Structure formats: structure tokens, C-alpha cells
Amino acid sequence: MAAGLRVHPIFELRDGNIRSLAPCFSQERAIRRLLSYWRRSRVEGARLHLIALHALAPEGAERLLEEVRREVEPATGLVAAFGPVMVVHTGPGLLGLSWWWEEP
């Protein structure tokens, strides 16, 4: 239904909890917002470990990873696919970022 309305919901999964964040009305805006959340989490001097995730949209995940690499080279930077259950429930095109900062 969200796809028909052109709504791109954003969720945060942290410490085993899922929280709905403000939705976006274009994929471009949703990508910018994901990157904004990542930027705000930055810890100076820490090493970044990041996975760009996708549901049958590897080009989108590659783009997310490249956007991050323009600002910082991750110690770990991977592209991976969501599992089939996620694809069934969201449809193709879902993108996500998972990261943590390893402090010295």
C-alpha cells in the first residue's frame, strides 16, 4: 500500500526495538534522510562498520555505500541482500543501512 501512495516509511531498529520514523514521499528524500541519521551518529576517531542492505535493488545499496565512502572509508563496508521474508513483506526496492562505530 505504501508503494501505491509513494510513501517511503523509515524505521529504526536499535537494541531489539523497532521505531517508526517520519516517512518520506520520495525515494531520494528517504535516502538523504538515512544518510542524515548515519551522519548524526558519527563518533570522531571511531572506525565505521557498515552494511548497505537491499531487497532486489543492489544498485541502490551500492549507491548508499558510495555516498558513505565519500565522507569516510569504513573499516568494513559491505552490500548485502535482505532475506526472502523481508522481500515478501516489503516488496522489491527496500534499502537499509546498518552500522556501528568501533571506538578506539
Tens-place pLDDT, residues 58-104: 999 999 999 999 999 999 999 999 999 989 988 899 999 999 999 98
The answer to which of 10-19, 30-39, 44-53, 91-100 has the lowest mean pLDDT is 10-19
What confidence score (pLDDT) does residue 7 get?
86
Model-level pTM? Answer: 0.87
Mean pLDDT of 40-48: 96
Is 5's pLDDT higher than 90? no
What's the rounded mean pLDDT across residues 39-52? 96
- Per-residue confidence (pLDDT) for residue 50, from 0 to 100: 98
Q: Tell whether the model's pLDDT for residue 6 goes beyond 80.
A: no
* Cell numbers that stand for 11 in this block: 524505521
State how far the alpha carbon of 82 is from the alpha carbons of 25, 41, 43, 47, 97, in Å.
22, 23, 27, 24, 11
**In contact, 91 and 3? CB cutoff 8 Å:** yes
Residue for grid cell 551518529: 41
Mean pLDDT of the chain, nearest integer:
92
Contact (CB, 8 A) for 43 and 103: yes
C-alpha span between 64 and 52 (Å, rounded): 6
β-bridge mates for residue 49, sequence order: 76, 100
pLDDT of residue 43: 95
Domain 27-102 has what CATH class? alpha beta
